[in-house]
Amino acid sequence: MRPSFFMFGLASTFASLASAHTVLSDIYINGQNKGDGTCIRMATNGSLCTAPIKDLNSKEMACGRDGQTAVAYTCQAPKSAKLTFAFREYADLSQTGAIDPSHLGPAAVYLKAVSKMDGDSAAGSGWFKIWDEGYVSSTNKWATQKLIDQKGLLSIKLPSGLPTGYYLVRTEILTLQNVTNNYVEPQFYINCAQLFIQGGTNPSLSVPSSKKVSIPGHVGAGESSLTFNVYKTPMTSLAAPQTQGVVPSTCLIKNGNWCGFEVDTYTKDEMGCWAAVTDCYNQLDACYDQAPPTGYAGCEKWSNNKCEKIKAGCSAGDFTGPPNKGVKLGDVLLQNLAASDLPASEPEPSGDEAVDAVEDTTGESAADDTAADAAADVAATSSSSSTPPTASVYVSLPASSASAVESSVTATPTAAAAAAAVTTVTTTSTVTKHGCGGPSRIVRRVVYVQA
């Protein structure tokens, strides 16, 4: 009988651990508890309300189980209010505790502006993070351990620049106790509270696109933040990984926020060679279109060191390439100061000063970085596979050199292309760079089309 009793007791223990994790149960606004479950979207199935979300692609990643459904009440919060979230291991407090001590990992808080609580989807775009914390080496503790020390309470301050309106505030706890070298199961504990933030002076919410994420989609399977082994020692502080706006490793050269990428490989393929020319110059066009007020030196380097070389090879009958495949061109920096030339950091504020000193990005107006429109496209088609594909060839000149356009370098078709009876159509357009005194440029496009 003793073995049977032991197995029963072990099963009961595991069932208890599996059924009790954590849930957002209360929200305090400037120290006032709004009520158990009030304004909070929670699972209607009590047996699942504290259970983790494991499907990273599920809509439940946004606001948890049943989180797509609005609740009846929305709590009002004044501008810059202090929000305190209360987490419980058992929603009804049948047992005390915030989360099992074995659950180790980071925490974060997100916001999303909505026009109607019962009309707008929680899942999708528009989310932005306002707070996070991971592992702190100075205390040797994860955010979840700090949460336990604070009896399940987590306090943050709303950004001061939020305009008046309706918001979903999303709490995210990620635990990694089930991530080992042999098994990977990150667990997300997600809830949302409905808020009406009042007193904001900004007319509309303006969050830089690089700061906004879609949920689901803000994390993906295999990312280091989801496969980190919390049992490794010694531990070091782990910052939340950037998942949006990362410069791709395949970027060959940057200009502002534009990247040039390698064209497709071609081997003894005339059509493929000219297709690469077209691709390269299409990317160049995008580079000029997206160039910020700091200029387009990187675009010119891409043109001279990539596009012109591919075009020269095609014109010479070398239909294998591209030349220098995958070689990084290096960014063009107008000014690159040494670290020793930079001023020392300003003293870091502390306490409430830190909150007040941080510039709130949600209160800023989006900068007008719009580059000038591209020169008009030349419509050209080819119905014969024996002719080269449409290829745009650009020559960039200062505005003062307008008269030199006619004598500028002209791309010529290969002998095979000439035999296929092609003609050239040339257009010239002036594009003025707005702001900061940037020079105008003249773009000449030579397009090969069937005669």
| Residue 60, in any domain of the structure | yes
| Residue 234, in any domain of the structure | no
Per-residue pLDDT tens digits for 276-290: 999 999 999 999 988
Say yes or no: 25 and 121 in one domain.
Answer: yes
Say yes or no: 318 and 414 in one domain.
Answer: yes
- Domain of 424 in residue numbering reads as 251-331+369-450
Last residue of a domain, one of 176, 194, 227: 227
Say yes or no: 389 and 278 in one domain.
Answer: yes
Say yes or no: 72 and 155 in one domain.
Answer: yes
Per-residue pLDDT tens digits for 404-424: 333 233 333 343 443 343 333
Helices assigned H by DSSP within 21-121 = 60-63
| Residue 7, in any domain of the structure | no
- For residues 287 and 390, what is the distance between their CA atoms, to the nearest angstrom? 20
| Residue 35, in any domain of the structure | yes
DSSP-assigned beta bridge partners for residue 195: 75, 167
CATH code of 35's domain:
2.70.50.70
- For residues 186 and 177, what is the distance between their CA atoms, to the nearest angstrom? 8
| Residue 96, in any domain of the structure | yes
> Residue 317 CB: number of other CB atoms within 10 A?
11
Say yes or no: 223 and 256 in one domain.
Answer: no
Say yes or no: 118 and 255 in one domain.
Answer: no
Say yes or no: 263 and 377 in one domain.
Answer: yes
Encoded tokens for 45: 């199935």
Per-residue pLDDT tens digits for 174-202: 998 888 777 788 899 999 999 999 877 77
To the nearest whole number, what is the mean pLDDT of the chain? 72
Last residue of a domain, one of 163, 195, 227: 227
Say yes or no: 155 and 265 in one domain.
Answer: no
Per-residue pLDDT tens digits for 312-331: 999 999 999 999 999 999 87
| Residue 111, in any domain of the structure | yes
CB 213 within 8 A of CB 241: no
Say yes or no: 385 and 296 in one domain.
Answer: yes
Is 307 exposed, middle or buried (CB count within 10 Å of its CB: 0-12, 13-18, 19+)?
A: buried
- Residue range 436-451: mean pLDDT, rounded: 40
Split at pLDDT 50, 70, 90, the class of 303 is: very high
CB 396 within 8 A of CB 295: no
DSSP code string of 238-286: BPPPP-SSPPPTTEEEEETTEEEEPPPPBSS-HHHHHHHHHHHHHHHHH
Number of domains present in the structure of the chain: 2
* Upstream peptide bond of 216 is cis (omega within 30 degrees of 0): yes
| Residue 363, in any domain of the structure | no
